[in-house]
Amino acid sequence: MPPPLDAKVGAELKSYLDTHKLSPKDYVVSKFADHDVVILGEYHRIKENVLLIQELIPLCYINGVHVLATEFARR
């Protein structure tokens, strides 16, 4: 078990997250600004994971990302 988080560090982390937070969709799309490839890991048979990809497709396309490789899209 890791040691407890120092209260000062916890406050700094919370402040950073409050200032820089993005929705999961926006976070993934933002990664393409300086990465050619973005790999998403997911647990199989989780509806929300597939819904996220579904929502990402038009956002990525609008932002110039035109290739999606996936191992769970069968239809």
pLDDT tens, residue by residue, 15-63: 999 999 999 999 999 999 999 999 998 887 889 988 999 999 999 999 9
Residue type, 74: R
- What does the alpha-carbon distance between residue 44 and residue 25 come to, in Å, rounded to a whole number? 19
Residue type, 64: G
| Cβ pair 60, 27 in contact under 8 A | no
pTM for this predicted structure: 0.75
Tokens of 5: 């988080």
Q: How far apart are CA 9 and CA 7, in angstroms?
A: 6
Of residues 22 and 2, more confidently modeled: 22
pLDDT band at 74 (very low <50, low <70, confident <90, very high): low
For the record, the structure tokens of 52 come out as 């996220």
